[in-house]
Amino acid sequence: MDWVGKSGSPSAPHAEAGARASARREKIASQMAQDAAGEIARLRARADFVEQYSYFLDLLADRPDKRLAAIGKPVAAFLCQVAPLELIEAHGLHPFRLMGGHQAAERLSSPSLPAVMCPMLRSLLGSMMSLDQGPELAGLIMPTMCDWTVKFGSLSELCGLKLPAKLHLMDPPRVKNSPQTSDRWLKETWRLNDFLTAISGRKIGPKELSKAIRVYRQAFMALSDLIDLKRQSKLPQIWFTVITAAFYLDQVQNWTQAARAVWLAVGDQALVGPGSVQTDFKNASAAGVNLGPPDLSGRRNQAKKVFLAGSPIFFPNFKTLLLVEQAGLETVIDDFCSSERLLPGPVAVSDESFYGLMTALSQRYQLGCLCPTFADHYQVVNNITNLFDHPLFQGVIFHVLKGCHLFDLKSLAVEPNVKGLGIKFLRLETDYSREDRDTLLTRLEAFAGTL
Amino acid sequence: MISIGIDLGSTAIKVALVDEGQLKWCRQTPTAPGQERLAGELIDQALGDLELSSSDIGAAAATGYGKRLFVSASATVDEISANALGLHRLSGGRGRVIINIGGQDLKVIRLDENGRIVDFRMNDKCAAGTGRFFEQVARILDTRLEKFGELASGPDEPVELNSTCAVFAESEIVSLLARGATAASVIKGFHRSVARRVAALVGQAASDIVDGELWLDGGPSQDPGLRAALEDELLCPVSVLPAPQYTVAFGAALYAAQSPIKA
Amino acid sequence: MSIRTFRFLSQHVFFLILTFGGRLGVSLGPSLPCLSCPYVVGCGGICYLRFLQSPMGGLGMNWAVLSSGRGLAALAALGLFIALVALLGQSWCGWTCPFGLVQDYAARLRNKLRIREAIFTERTMAFIKTLKYVCFGYLVSTPVLITLGAAHPDLSLPYCAICPVKLIMPLLTGDTTYLNLDFTNPVLLTTSVVLMIFSGLVLVGMFFKTRFFCLLCPMSVLIGLFRPLYLLRVLKRPQACLGCGNCRRVCPADIDKTTPAIDPGSNCNPALVKPVTLSTSGCQGCFNCAQCCATDGSLAIKYGPWAIFNSSRRYAARFLKGRTAFFKALKGPGDRL
């Protein structure tokens, strides 16, 4: 689901070429719509479909430009969740994450782009090119998390794409856990505040920001409960991904409500206990090493459980998720910034002044982010191995999108650490094409056999 | 009880009949449209040769890229697991690393002492080093694949092939031949180029391998020149089975024998 | 009910008992490891620092006195103090100290007014933290010096004489006795002037910096002497930490160990990583950190060998969502809210 933009209007002498380009654009746009509709139809036809999922599927089925216009607020688009959503929300804007999941869209942009390139951004640029008239955008916020996003402006120029709104670049420090770099990100966050004030015409204070923080804490709680359902095999990863893919397509309060509805419908008699305040004396050994959340093993069925890590997965390209399912594997945890790590987590605040809130947000988004762009990789490893003594999953599948150097490098760093603990590890490198389905499936099946 | 393994590969369809863990019969036919029919014909042929009837067949497992096309199989198994099963048995339990050169892919599988897969790697959407590459070179040189080993045993110095890509290697070989390189030196250079590609995929794993642990497998491994080039490149002894193209089908038959039979 | 709610109740109950309990005949004795000021008329228990200066400090180095009934009584009081510290560790500060609650309200007021909290640089912080050791040294050494004749006898309660709690707590009960300068002699005049200045600084400090006085409190030094005995403490499993900084932000003592640097050689093998205690110098046992940690099993509150609380995403999500609907939210979907 993607994005929406205006491409440069053809000049008069090239009117004929312009007409051809426009025909091509329409063709791709209808292919994209067809792909999305096909995926949604297949999802609806699944045996595990529940009526409560309809809300999310309907959001995804809408044409993106119409969808954004229907949100009822000016929209500020952004890429990468290190830009605090709460800050955007507090300015009365709707934060919308730019995403590119359409293979068809790549056909529009790839002739103008490098051969080896992040498929997500290629698809995003293509999606933007496929629409000649998008809705009004208040702004475009781009934290330069990787080389592709740094060059987003020039890449869109290469594609002949005129960006629909002012581009605001943010420069994230790539080293965490140093007060100096955290200060730098705080300054960037203040700069974002200035930008948002300029585009929204609204100067905000601590009250507005506190309110936005509360709204997102509620959203996180809804997300967290769905994550728990997934851990317990009550919510399949594919539906979880559908729910998270729709996160930016409506006002966050509505999404939260719909997610609660899924929780109530799917999670009946689910978790009245584990992971909550109640304490578990038996599980905690005297050495204090075994202090994980309570054991859930009694609730598990026989399917092999895996941890899905790596490059994010965007609608409608659910190829990897479906292949994992097909290989007889069940994803109970993921660390995709498109799914479980959609929100960095609840923000704890002790200083409720505007400065204090900004500091808290800035730290939470930077320090809590597991993106491989950051130099320290121990957090990513920790996130995978944290519950190593709890048999929640038997293997790790690391999804690498070709052209994404960061996740590629990350997989190399993570692999020995995960294997060192005796956890099976499979690196799955792919792109948006469908041709490699068979080889991927072979790998996944063989991997399932080793678990 | 007889069990059958059918390996529907990209280049050839291989069928193996196994009785009590012993290979009784195996044969292959080139892959062509109508794979299920081709495989069925091979099975009929086997039953005729062994004077068996279809009621003697206990189970059949399909593997390979076409495994879903063979709907009458009682089970399907992925080719990596089948390969591991087959080679573990055929190597007498000694095999630890399998290098499988398939028609369109390259696999490196590591096993533990019980034949369980520890780890595996596959090349990625690329023909370099695969059976397809062998066929292509044979076509350019107008030489049969079986003669590669013989030619490579000669004294000719290997040429340096700069392209690892199968597509670019074609034009490179053509121009080398035009400049007077002999077929034997091209084959030697080609072997070395494939061996390097394989060695890169094997990676660290080769460093502490002793005799009988590393096995070359799949159709192209019948080429003794490749084996020699690989030993040079990996710096460790490489073993090859007498009929390496049937390991996967054999493994599938073993798998069929142990998996529960569908009614 | 969240841990925070428990703590909130505990702080208020203790505040009432320790400040007014004496009027109803309640007395928790002279060995309390919190600032329950005896200068408050009708207090329900006495800060052990008071006892430590006198009579305990006044016993001096005289073994005859030490082995007498007075000496044994002093040792018993010390024993009781140590036992109490072992029982609740640093949570005396966070859960019972009446002056701690006063400071918490000051911080609450600051937050209500949306005024920024002061941030000290690392160097300033290090300097301030040495002051509590200076205070403690002064508190312990002066009574001994008096028995040796090396200090003025009017300094027999050297720290109490300058302790801001002595001025502020009675003021809260409407008692202005200590809000004046003592012109009796130069020593008392000096101490009363120091008291005024110190109290003024603390009043301003605690408004701009959460629990400012705790940074200077000699009681935390004394409690810290018995750290190996703590039964109640917070532990961190560094191998579970995602480094998000929530714990550090909510720590009133700004303990930097809340995100400890991890040795890259060992972090990846969880078996090699030992849990790290966060109950270090300055910790007030408030458990804000464990409650705000959204990573399963990264922080744990332990009592003796038992983990009585493990941090979890589920708890933190509910805890941080806010006080309203907290009870409801804790119930699972089975309850249909």
**Mean pLDDT calculated for residue range A325-332:** 92
Burial code (b: 16+ CB inside 10 Å, e: under 16) for B42-69 equals bbeebbeeeebeeeebebbbbbbbbbee
Regarding the domain delimited by B2-84+247-258, which CATH topology (the fold level of the hierarchy) does it fall under? Nucleotidyltransferase; domain 5 (3.30.420)
**Mean pLDDT calculated for residue range A7-16:** 58
Give yes or no for residue C152 having a pLDDT over 60. yes
Give yes or no for residue C61 having a pLDDT over 80. no
pLDDT digits (tens, 9 = 90+) for A29-53: 999 999 999 999 999 999 989 999 9
Beta-carbon separation of B80 and A442 below 8 A: yes
| Domain span(s) for CATH 3.30.420.40 in chain B | 2-84+247-258, 95-240
Work out the pLDDT band at A277, boundaries 50, 70, 90: very low
Subunit partners of chain C (3 or more CB pairs within 8 A): A
Superfamily the domain B95-240 falls into: ATPase, nucleotide binding domain (3.30.420.40)
Least confident window among A359-373, C62-76, C225-239: C62-76
Least confident window among A311-325, B104-118, B149-163: B149-163
Work out the pLDDT band at B159, boundaries 50, 70, 90: confident
- Report chain B residues whose CB lies below 8 A from the CB of A435: 125
Long-range contact pairs involving A431-437 (C-beta distance under 8 Å, separation at least 24): A431/A119, A431/A401, A431/A402, A431/A403, A432/A101, A432/A102, A432/A103, A432/A106, A432/A119, A432/A123, A432/A317, A432/A319, A433/A103, A434/A103, A434/A319, A435/B125, A436/B124, A436/B125, A437/A319, A437/A323
pLDDT digits (tens, 9 = 90+) for B203-235: 765 666 777 788 999 888 888 888 888 888 888
Give yes or no for residue A12 having a pLDDT over 60. no
Q: In chain A, what are the domain boundaries?
A: 6-212, 274-450
Reduced to 3 states (helix: H, G, I; strand: E, B; else coil), residue A19 is: helix
Beta-carbon separation of B124 and A450 below 8 A: no
**Most confident range, picked from A106-120, A297-311, C61-75:** A106-120
Predicted pLDDT at A135:
65
What is the reported pTM?
0.86
End-to-end CA, chain B: 16
Beta-carbon separation of C270 and A273 below 8 A: no
**Mean pLDDT calculated for residue range A276-302:** 35
Mean pLDDT rounded to a whole number for chain B: 86
Give yes or no for residue C14 having a pLDDT over 70. yes
**Most confident range, picked from A386-390, C24-28, C56-60, C331-335:** C24-28
Of B84 and B154, the structure prediction assigns the larger pLDDT to: B84
A19–chain C nearest CA distance, Å: 52
**Most confident range, picked from A129-138, A225-234, B164-173, C192-201:** C192-201
Beta-carbon separation of C267 and A269 below 8 A: no
Give yes or no for residue C323 having a pLDDT over 60. no
Per the CB < 8 A criterion, the answer to whether C239 and A385 are in contact is: yes
Distance separating alpha carbons of residues A402 and A396, to the nearest angstrom: 19
**Mean pLDDT calculated for residue range A377-390:** 72
Query: Looking at residue C55, what DSSP letter applies?
Result: I
Residue of A190, A230, A350 best to disrupt the C interface, most CBs of C under 10 A: A350
Per the CB < 8 A criterion, the answer to whether B190 and B137 are in contact is: yes
Q: What is the DSSP string of C245-312?
A: -HHHHH-TT--GGGS----TTTTT-GGGPPPEE---TT-----HHHHH--STTSEEEEETTEEEEE--
**C–B touching, 3+ CB–CB pairs within 8 Å:** no
Residue C199 CB contacts under 8 Å (≥ 6 apart), including other chains: C164, C167, C168
Residue C333 CB contacts under 8 Å (≥ 6 apart), including other chains: A225, A263, A264, A267, A268, A269, A270, A271
Distance separating alpha carbons of residues C169 and A105, to the nearest angstrom: 71
Residue of A397, A408, A441, A450 best to disrupt the B interface, most CBs of B under 10 A: A450
Residue of B76, B78, B123 best to disrupt the A interface, most CBs of A under 10 A: B78
Per the CB < 8 A criterion, the answer to whether A122 and A111 are in contact is: no
Quickly list H helices, chain B.
35-50, 79-90, 131-141, 148-152, 166-178, 183-202, 224-234, 247-258
Of A279, A360, A387, which is closest to C307 when you measure between CB atoms?
A279
Q: What is the DSSP string of A304-367?
A: EEEEEEES---TT--HHHHHHHHTTEEEEEE--TTTGGGS--PPP-S--SHHHHHHHHHHHHHH
- Report chain C residues whose CB lies below 8 A from the CB of A292: 240, 296-297, 310
**B–A touching, 3+ CB–CB pairs within 8 Å:** yes
Beta-carbon separation of A288 and C235 below 8 A: yes
What chain C residue is nearest to A273 in terms of C-alpha separation? C332
Of C205 and C255, the structure prediction assigns the larger pLDDT to: C205
Q: What is the ipTM of this complex?
A: 0.89
**Mean pLDDT calculated for residue range B243-262:** 84
Of A439, A441, A450, which is closest to B105 when you measure between CB atoms?
A439
**Mean pLDDT calculated for residue range B152-171:** 81
Give yes or no for residue A296 having a pLDDT over 70. no
**What does each C-alpha distance from B202 to A99, A250, B121, B131, C5 come to in angstroms?**
37, 49, 8, 18, 59
Of B65, B81, B120, which is closest to A438 when you measure between CB atoms?
B65
**A–C touching, 3+ CB–CB pairs within 8 Å:** yes
Distance separating alpha carbons of residues C43 and C56, to the nearest angstrom: 21
Distance separating alpha carbons of residues A134 and A124, to the nearest angstrom: 14
- Report chain C residues whose CB lies below 8 A from the CB of A228: 314
A367–chain B nearest CA distance, Å: 34
A183–chain B nearest CA distance, Å: 42
Beta-carbon separation of C321 and A206 below 8 A: no
A365–chain C nearest CA distance, Å: 8
Residue B210's φ and ψ, nearest 5 degrees, are -105, 175
Predicted pLDDT at C148:
83
pLDDT digits (tens, 9 = 90+) for A46-95: 998 999 999 999 999 988 888 998 998 999 999 998 999 999 999 999 99
**What does each C-alpha distance from A323 to A169, B15, C14 come to in angstroms?**
36, 27, 60
Beta-carbon separation of A382 and C240 below 8 A: yes
- Report chain C residues whose CB lies below 8 A from the CB of A269: 332-334
Taking the Cβ of residue B81 and every Cβ of chain A, the question of whether any pair is shorter than 8 Å is answered with yes
Distance separating alpha carbons of residues C257 and B102, to the nearest angstrom: 55
Distance separating alpha carbons of residues C237 and A158, to the nearest angstrom: 49
Beta-carbon separation of C243 and A176 below 8 A: yes
Give yes or no for residue A221 having a pLDDT over 50. yes
Work out the pLDDT band at C196, boundaries 50, 70, 90: very high
B119–chain A nearest CA distance, Å: 8
Residue closest to A203 by CA, chosen among A194, A192, A214, A213: A194
C51–chain A nearest CA distance, Å: 35
Tokens matching residue A381:
């490893």
Q: Establish, for the pair of chains A and B, how many residue pairs have beta carbons separated by less than 8 Å.
A: 37
**Mean pLDDT calculated for residue range A108-125:** 91
A446–chain B nearest CA distance, Å: 6
Reduced to 3 states (helix: H, G, I; strand: E, B; else coil), residue B184 is: helix
Q: Which amino acid belongs to residue A441?
A: L
Beta-carbon separation of B118 and A435 below 8 A: no
Work out the pLDDT band at C337, boundaries 50, 70, 90: very low
**Mean pLDDT calculated for residue range A183-187:** 95
C252–chain A nearest CA distance, Å: 8
**From the CB of residue A194, how many other CB atoms can be counted at a distance below 10 Å?**
11
Beta strands A94-97; C306-310: pairing state: unpaired
Reduced to 3 states (helix: H, G, I; strand: E, B; else coil), residue C214 is: helix
Distance separating alpha carbons of residues A192 and A85, to the nearest angstrom: 11
Work out the pLDDT band at C153, boundaries 50, 70, 90: confident
CATH number of A6-212: 3.40.50.11890
Predicted pLDDT at B183:
87
Beta-carbon separation of B78 and A449 below 8 A: yes
**What does each C-alpha distance from A401 to A119, A433, B247, C316 come to in angstroms?**
7, 11, 33, 33
Show which residues on chain A lie within 8 Å of chain B, measured between beta carbons.
Answer: 419, 429, 435-436, 438-439, 441-443, 445-446, 449-450
Distance separating alpha carbons of residues B194 and B230, to the nearest angstrom: 8
Beta-carbon separation of A435 and B125 below 8 A: yes
Predicted pLDDT at C334:
31
- Report chain B residues whose CB lies below 8 A from the CB of A441: 78
* DSSP 3-state percent helix, strand, coil across chain C (nearest 5): 55, 5, 40
Predicted pLDDT at C122:
84
Work out the pLDDT band at C335, boundaries 50, 70, 90: very low
- Report chain A residues whose CB lies below 8 A from the CB of B75: none
Residue of A291, A381, A389 best to disrupt the C interface, most CBs of C under 10 A: A291
- The residue to which tokens 């978790």 are assigned: A271
A445–chain B nearest CA distance, Å: 6
Of B81, B105, B119, which is closest to A449 when you measure between CB atoms?
B81
Predicted pLDDT at A280:
32
Backbone region of residue A366 per phi and psi (left: phi > 0; alpha: psi in -120 to 50; beta: other values): alpha
B233–chain A nearest CA distance, Å: 24
Beta-carbon separation of C335 and A205 below 8 A: no
Residue of B119, B130, B204 best to disrupt the A interface, most CBs of A under 10 A: B119
Least confident window among A289-293, B174-178, C173-177: A289-293
Q: How many helices (H) and strands (E) does chain A have?
A: 17, 10
Residue closest to A40 by CA, chosen among A22, A24, A27, A53: A53
What chain C residue is nearest to A371 in terms of C-alpha separation? C242
**From the CB of residue B215, how many other CB atoms can be counted at a distance below 10 Å?**
26
Distance separating alpha carbons of residues C73 and C56, to the nearest angstrom: 9
Cβ burial of A100 (10 Å; 0-12, 13-18, 19+) is buried
Subunit partners of chain A (3 or more CB pairs within 8 A): B, C
**Mean pLDDT calculated for residue range B255-259:** 84
Of A205, A218, A344, which is closest to C244 when you measure between CB atoms?
A344
Tokens matching residue C315:
């708890």
Distance separating alpha carbons of residues A414 and B127, to the nearest angstrom: 29
Pick the CATH number of A274-450 from 1.10.3720.10, 3.40.50.150, 3.40.50.11900, 3.40.30.10: 3.40.50.11900
Give yes or no for residue A273 having a pLDDT over 60. no
Mean pLDDT rounded to a whole number for chain C: 86
Predicted pLDDT at A10:
46
- The residue to which tokens 């290469």 are assigned: A158
Percentage of residues of chain B with pLDDT beyond 70: 95
Predicted pLDDT at A5:
44
Q: How many helices (H) and strands (E) does chain C have?
A: 14, 4
Beta-carbon separation of C242 and A349 below 8 A: no
A126–chain C nearest CA distance, Å: 35
A218–chain B nearest CA distance, Å: 42
Residue A328's φ and ψ, nearest 5 degrees, are 80, 25
pLDDT digits (tens, 9 = 90+) for C109-142: 999 999 999 998 889 988 998 999 999 999 999 9
